[in-house]
Amino acid sequence: MARDKHGHEIGIDMTPMIDCVFQLMIFFIVTFKLDSDQINEKIELAKSPHGPAIEKKSPGTMIIEVDKRGVISISRIALSDQMLYHIVKQAMNRVGPSNVEILIRGDREAQHGAVRRVMNKCTEAGVWRLRFAALKKKAG
C-alpha cells in the first residue's frame, strides 16, 4: 500500500463507486419491464376464491415476490431489505408517490414475517397502495 510523506497509508475510497453501482442496479431493476416471463413460477400462491380479480395492472405497479424460504425478489433478482427500500423509493421518485402500487406475490408456505418485511420496507419508502396476489380459482 502506498504511503504519504507523513507515513500514513493512502487508499482509494470505494464509497462513490459502490454508490454508482448501487444506483445503476436500482435503475435497471426499476426500469426493467415486468412481464410474465419475469415472474417466478415456483411460487405457489394461496387460494382466494372470493377476492377481486385483477383485470389490468397499472403502469406503476411493481411486483415483489417472496418465496417459501423468505427470499425477496423483483424480476427473479434476490434483494436485501435495504435494496428493496431503495428500489421502491427510486420508483416513487420516478413515477410519483400516488402512481406506485405494490403487488406482493407471496408463496403460500412463506412465513408471515418475510411478507411483513416487504410491507414494512414499502411503507417506510412511502408507498401505501399494497395488494396481494392469490389464485381466484384452481388452474387446470
**Parallel, antiparallel or unpaired: strands 61-66 and 101-106:** parallel
State the pLDDT confidence band at 13, using cuts at 50, 70 and 90.
confident
5 is written with which cell numbers?
A: 510523506
* Phi, psi for 135 (deg, rounded to 5): -85, 125
Nearest Cα to Cα of residue 104 among 53, 52, 67: 67
Give domain limits for the chain.
15-132
Question: Is the distance from CB of 139 to CB of 99 less than 8 angstroms?
Answer: no
How does pLDDT run across 57-115, given as a tens digit for each residue?
Answer: 677 788 899 999 999 998 888 999 999 999 999 888 888 777 888 999 989 899 999 99
What pTM was estimated for this model as a whole? 0.68
Predicted confidence at residue 113, as pLDDT, reads 92
35: pLDDT strictly greater than 90:
no
What are the start-end ranges of the E strands in the chain? 61-66, 72-74, 77-79, 101-106, 130-132
123 is written with which cell numbers?
A: 411503507
| Residue labelled with grid coordinates 387446470 | 140
128: pLDDT strictly greater than 50:
yes
31: pLDDT strictly greater than 70:
no
How does pLDDT run across 40-68, given as a tens digit for each residue?
Answer: 778 878 787 777 776 666 777 888 999 99
Predicted confidence at residue 114, as pLDDT, reads 92
Predicted confidence at residue 32, as pLDDT, reads 62
Q: Does domain 15-132 fall into CATH 3.20.20.80?
A: no
75 contact partners, CB below 8 Å, separation of at least 6: 29, 32, 34, 38
